[in-house]
């Protein structure tokens, strides 16, 4: 089987000649929590203001937003991050977005999405939610969506750099390890591999790869 990565060490490839730009490509795992958890709390706070939607409704919409995130995560990973452009600029952009992660999968500073990318994306989805949902239902749904994103980034980091003990943790880790070292054309769900079952991109039970070697 062809090697699917360049380096399996915790090391980085330089992406920009400019040291200033390079800074923005290295992100600590705690950054998504610091940036976005206050957004989740604020959205839930304004959703629970006097006269706002009932608590049960807020919970349901939060779960709905979380559900929408899981599908968004799968679709972005499969059709955007793994899209293979043919132009020089397209290939360069693809490498910057996701290709570098597959070449250097253990680079601990490039396992969560940089805010310079995630903030515009979050703003885009907030705008989409505002277009399709009644005004009073946007905040609680968006809170669930952003919470799902936080979980995704932290689970992604953990699959590469944490023990992840327990059946669920080991299963998620093993699932993502397969994506990197067995077949990167499958296993697109990171925090929620259920969509790999739904869309037929799950690995077979006999397709194994040693976790100890990663």
Reported as a single tens digit per residue, the pLDDT across 158-185 is 999 998 888 999 999 999 999 999 999 9
Domain that holds residue 52: 20-165
Q: Would residue 65 count as lying in a domain?
A: yes
CB 125 within 8 A of CB 142: yes
pLDDT greater than 50 at residue 213: no
pLDDT tens digits along 117-129: 999 999 999 999 9
- Supply 176's token pair: 């993502």
pTM for the full predicted model: 0.91
pLDDT tens digits along 50-84: 665 688 889 999 999 999 999 999 999 999 999 98
Query: Comparing C-alpha atoms, which of 70, 69, 93, 97 is closest to residue 81?
Result: 97
Q: Would residue 88 count as lying in a domain?
A: yes
Name the pLDDT band for 211 (thresholds 50, 70, 90): very low
* Total residue length of the chain: 214
Domain tally, the chain: 1
Give residues with Cβ within 8 angstroms of 207, minimum separation 6: 178, 182, 183
Q: Would residue 117 count as lying in a domain?
A: yes
Q: Would residue 207 count as lying in a domain?
A: no
Q: Would residue 11 count as lying in a domain?
A: no
């Amino acid at each position: 089987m062809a090697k699917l990565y360049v380096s399996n060490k915790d090391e980085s490839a330089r992406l920009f000649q400019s040291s200033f730009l390079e800074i923005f490509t290295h992100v600590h795992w705690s950054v998504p929590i610091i940036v976005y958890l206050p957004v989740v709390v604020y959205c839930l706070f304004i959703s629970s203001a006097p006269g706002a939607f009932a608590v049960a409704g807020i919970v349901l919409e939060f779960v709905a937003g979380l559900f929408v995130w899981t599908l968004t995560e799968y679709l972005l990973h499969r059709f955007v991050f793994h899209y293979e452009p043919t132009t020089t600029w397209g290939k360069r952009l693809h490498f910057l977005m996701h290709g570098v992660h597959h070449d250097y999968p253990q680079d601990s500073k490039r396992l969560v999405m940089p805010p310079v990318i995630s903030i515009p994306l979050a703003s885009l989805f907030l705008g989409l939610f505002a277009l399709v949902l009644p005004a009073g239902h946007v905040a609680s749904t968006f809170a669930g969506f952003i919470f799902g994103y936080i979980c995704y980034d932290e689970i992604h980091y953990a699959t590469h750099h944490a023990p992840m003990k327990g059946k669920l943790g080991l299963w998620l880790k093993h699932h993502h390890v397969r994506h990197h070292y067995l077949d990167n054309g499958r296993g697109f769900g990171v925090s929620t591999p259920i969509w790999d079952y739904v869309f037929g991109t799950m690995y077979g039970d006999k397709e194994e790869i040693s976790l100890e070697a990663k």
